Amino acid sequence: MTTILTVNNITKVYTMREGSVNALNEVSFAITKGDFVSITGPSGSGKTTLLLALSGLIRPTAGSIIFEEKHLEKASDKELAEFRKNNVGFVMQNFSLIPYMTAIQNVMIPLGLSGKTMIEQRELSEAVLGLVGLEDRKNHFPRELSAGQQQRVAIARALINNPTLIFADEPTGNLDPLLSTEILEFLKKINKERNITIMMVTHSPQAAEYGNTRIHLRNGTMDTLHSKETKTLTE
């Protein structure tokens, strides 16, 4: 089992007009390649801050984040951008699709700096849309897609660069229970078949059950780290 991400005592302090807020306080854990990690905790516990720090979108105030022996907290902005481009996919609660672009155009966005020709970009995007069952919706705009279909487009976009890690922030937060299960099953399929490590923030107990590793935060501190055999709710 290969450790892909090691977090050592990371702390994140936000300085505000009213004073300082410790969003994270000496959080430590290690993640193995191919893990499906559920990050839970009450509102304001630091879940999203943790995800932003792990993806290199914000820097910790203290502590270290090591991805495959590379210290992200010491990396330059350019190096962090390269890290995200080459290793990271994002799936957000609000889908984050560009409304005036079609499904396939949205999926192609991360390929803009890949050096691939437009024909290559389109062929790859069509293949990934096929993977999430939306090849027949490739020319539809987001407004012409259901909420579940929009999130599947977002998953396809996250997959387009064949990432090592997918960070998902409340990916089922805007979906009903049936669509939530559909999206979670897609994520689990990707996790199992492609061995992509997934780190998912969720408030849903049902969604959290999809993780084989569960991190629970409270007031910026990790109070639970639990690992179990990987399973899905439909098994």
Q: pLDDT at position 228, please? A: 67
Q: What does pLDDT average to over the chain?
A: 89
pLDDT digits (tens, 9 = 90+) for 105-148: 999 998 877 778 899 999 999 999 998 889 999 999 999 999 88
pLDDT at 223 over 90: no
pLDDT at 154 over 50: yes
The 3-state secondary structure of 136-198, one letter per residue: HHCCCCHHHCCHHHHHHHHHHHHHCCCCCEEEEECCCCCCCHHHHHHHHHHHHHHHHHHCCEE
Instruction: Say which CATH number the domain at 210 has.
Output: 3.40.50.300
> Helix and strand tally (H, E) in the chain?
7, 10
pLDDT digits (tens, 9 = 90+) for 37-52: 999 999 889 999 999 9
Residue 163 within a domain: yes
Residue 67 within a domain: no
pLDDT digits (tens, 9 = 90+) for 193-215: 999 999 999 999 889 999 999 99
Closest by alpha carbon to 213, among 73, 64, 31, 70?
31
Residue 65 within a domain: no
Q: What is the CA radius of gyration of the chain?
A: 18
> What's 96's DSSP letter?
-
The span from the CA of 26 to the CA of 161, in Å, is: 32
Residue 111 within a domain: yes
Tokens 């792990």 — which residue?
Answer: 54
pLDDT at 67 over 90: yes
Q: pLDDT at position 175, please? A: 85
Residue 191 within a domain: yes
pLDDT digits (tens, 9 = 90+) for 7-25: 999 999 998 888 888 999 9
Range of the domain at 129: 34-60+77-227
Residue 14 within a domain: no
Q: pLDDT at position 217, please? A: 94
Residue 72 within a domain: no
Q: At 127, which helix (H) or strand (E)?
A: helix 118-131
Q: Give the pTM.
A: 0.88
How far, in Å, are 146, 198, 209, 224 from residue 188 at the CA level?
21, 9, 11, 22
Residue 8 within a domain: no
Q: What is the mean pLDDT of residues 154-169?
A: 93
Counting the structural domains of the chain, the total is: 1
How far, in Å, are 66, 181, 194, 196 from residue 163 at the CA level?
17, 23, 10, 7
